[in-house]
Amino acid sequence: MWGTMEKVGPIYMSTIYRNSPLPRYYQLKEIMRERVRAGEWKPGDLIPSERELGETYGISRMTARQAITDLVNEGLFYREQGKGTFVSRNKITQQLIRLTGFTEDIRARGQQPSTKVLSAQMSPANEVTAERLRIQTGQIVFYLQRLRLADGEPLAIESSQLSFKGCEKLLEEDLEQNSLYRLLETKYGLPPMEAEQELEAGLAGNEEAQLLKIPVGSSVLFTRRTTYTDRNQPIEYAKSVYCGNKYTFYTHMKREQLVP
């Protein structure tokens, strides 16, 4: 079999088997995956270069490159131009069962959330927003665009539009230091209680790539969320773009009735 792990102290030794029916790049992928799983290569670590891997495992650079590229595409590694390839952080899981905000999601995994406000202004709602927020097209809403980061690393761009009586007061809030959901709940008496969300796969355009510090054309996840308060009143319609390789969306499903 391939890449048999032989535990030597805290390190795992592994070999590429020449006679294995499994392609060599595949065996190397499994070896590298195990190094990450075992905690030997930690998030943020620079992995060995193609040349080093080639020398260590007695394979060609091309084979090493193929294994690395596959793991980059799977999100286990990420490349930084001119610097090398690094181990990604574990993906952030956004629960699709419990309604949580960005700040909660990031704190739940022990990271420090932060926010850069890109725009905060009053602006007229377009047709789609008006429909989602059940208001008239052209009605003035609070528009907020934020870059969301975890431990200083950009993860998402969120464009929110909020409509409720007195929403213009949000202009005076410090939205870099405060969670929007928390403010709505504690200061405005409008706790976000329910939401509808759509997910769509896509590719980063110029502006998104620049803000998220990822190459143009990287995979991203677009979400559109309408959030309601306990009185079933829509208060926020938000469009977000998440770095595709850093997020997992989790949902739990139950079958209502078994087909006879």
Question: φ and ψ at 101, to 5 degrees?
Answer: -100, 175
Task: Output the smallest distance, CB 214 to ligand GLP, in A.
Answer: 18
Judged by CB, which is closer to ligand GLP: 64, or 175?
175
Identify which of residues 50 and 158 has a Cβ nearer to ligand GLP in the complex: 158
| Min CB(180)–ligand GLP separation in Å | 3
**By C-beta, is 50 or 236 nearer to ligand GLP?**
236
- In angstroms, rounded to a whole number, what is the distance separating the alpha carbons of residues 81 and 68? 14
Distance CA 173, CA 193 (A): 21
Contact 238, 227 (CB under 8 A): yes
Contacts of 137 (CB under 8 A, 6+ apart): 124, 125, 126, 127, 130
**At 206, is the secondary structure helix, strand, or coil?**
helix
**Distance between CA atoms of residues 71 and 30, nearest Å:** 10
Residues that bind ligand GLP (CB under 6 A): 101-103, 158, 160, 179-182, 225, 236, 238, 240
Comparing CB distances to ligand GLP, the nearer of 70 and 185 is 185
Rounded CA-CA distance 58/18 in Å is 10
Find the shortest distance in angstroms from Cβ 164 to ligand GLP.
14
Q: For ligand GLP, which is the closer residue by CB, 33 or 224?
A: 224
Closest contact distance (angstroms) between CB of 181 and ligand GLP is 3
To the nearest whole angstrom, how small is the minimum distance from the Cβ of residue 240 to ligand GLP? Answer: 5
- Specify which residues 7 forms β-bridges with: 12
